[in-house]
């Protein structure tokens, strides 16, 4: 059997599990429904926004979307969502902190 290559995050999860840090949820069906509702509310697109951006930026966004196989508006919404929730990191600032 071949060795499984895990990335850093996967190794951290496996190590945490092996240390016994994971606990069984009491009522897993209720928890699943609760988190499904969180996801539904997070992914619900109920507002329309019009913005002006440069043609160059839009071309680059559309190119990235094509490379990732998704619609460019979905990519834009994803970028905004990740920025708002702190998971989108500015490369320049990240490199300065190293």
How many structural domains is the chain composed of?
1
Q: In this structure, is residue 39 part of a structural domain?
A: no
The answer as to whether 6 is a domain residue is: no
**Coil, helix or strand at residue 14:** helix
What CA–CA distances, in Å, run from 36 to 30, 41, 92? Answer: 10, 9, 35
Judge whether 47 and 41 are in contact, CB under 8 Å: no
Residue 73 lies in a domain: yes
pLDDT at 2 over 80: no
Indicate the pTM of the whole model: 0.50
Question: Is 77 inside a domain boundary?
Answer: yes
DSSP 56-71: HHHHHHHHHHHHHTS-
Q: Which domain holds residue 75?
A: 50-98
Q: Which pLDDT score is estimated for 16? A: 95
Do the domain assignments include residue 24?
no
Q: Is residue 91 part of a domain?
A: yes
Contacts of 66 (CB under 8 A, 6+ apart): 72
User: What confidence tens digit (pLDDT) does each residue in 47-95 have?
Assistant: 888 999 999 999 999 999 999 899 999 899 889 988 888 888 877 766 6
Residue 95 domain flag: yes
Of 19 and 44, more confident: 19
The pLDDT-based confidence of 10 (bands split at 50, 70, 90) is: very high
């Amino acid at each position: 059997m071949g060795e499984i290559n895990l990335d850093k995050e996967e190794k951290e999860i496996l190590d945490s599990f092996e240390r016994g840090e994971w606990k069984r949820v009491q009522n897993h069906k209720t928890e699943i429904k609760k988190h499904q509702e969180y996801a539904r509310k997070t992914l619900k697109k109920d507002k329309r926004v019009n913005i002006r951006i440069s043609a160059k930026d839009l071309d680059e966004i559309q190119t990235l979307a094509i490379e990732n196989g998704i619609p460019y508006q979905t990519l834009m919404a994803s970028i905004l969502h990740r920025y708002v929730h702190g998971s989108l990191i500015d490369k320049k600032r990240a490199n300065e902190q190293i």
